[in-house]
Structures are given as C-alpha cells and as structure tokens.
C-alpha cells in the first residue's frame, strides 16, 4: 500500500490537534481533508482508466497492422495470379 504524506494528511492532523479548542474549525479542516483525499483518489482512478484505454488502443492497432500485413501478402502472392495476364 502506497502512503503519501500530503496536504490532506496535514489537514487531518491539524483537525485532530485543535479538536478540543475549536470544534467548528476542526470540522472544517476535517471536511477539507476528506474532500482533498477524495479528489486525489478520483484523479488516480482516472489516470488508471486512461492508461488502460490507451493500452487497449495500442494493442488493437498492432493486431490490425499485423492482420493487414498478412492479408496484403496473401493477395500479392495469390497462387495462379502473377499480374502479367
């Protein structure tokens, strides 16, 4: 599991630290921390989705190119047709 110590974690620690002195401000920091972490998670999820789609597209292009090469070589080397008649 990958753990990053970023702004969301700082806000969470600050929220816990000032919980007894300023409850409302503590809840604001907690909310900002949760929103920030949710946003970071959604960005990571979107990057993974885009990477997956890109790899599928590359695979499809390679397979299409390979099939086209086989088809063209089969047409060019068709038995009984040499192109001179």
Q: Which tens digit of pLDDT belongs to each residue from 1-24?
A: 777 789 999 999 999 999 999 999
Phi, psi (deg, nearest 5) at residue 74: -70, -35
DSSP 15: H
Dist. CA 49–CA 42, nearest whole Å: 10
CA distance 65 to 60: 9
Q: What is the pLDDT of residues 43-76, one digit of tens each?
A: 999 999 999 999 999 999 998 888 888 887 766 5
Q: Where are the domains of the chain?
A: 7-76
Residues whose CB falls within 8 Å of the CB of residue 79, separated by 6 or more in sequence, listed in order: none
Give the CB-side neighbour count of residue 25, counting CA atoms within 13 A: 8
């Amino acid at each position: 599991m990958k753990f990053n110590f970023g702004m969301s974690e700082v806000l969470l620690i600050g929220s816990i630290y000032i919980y007894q002195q300023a409850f409302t401000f503590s809840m604001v920091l907690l909310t900002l921390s949760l929103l920030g972490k949710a946003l970071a998670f959604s960005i990571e999820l979107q990057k993974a989705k885009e990477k997956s789609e890109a790899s599928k597209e590359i695979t499809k292009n390679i397979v299409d190119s390979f099939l086209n090469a086989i088809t063209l070589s089969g047409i060019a080397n068709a038995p009984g047709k040499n192109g001179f008649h």
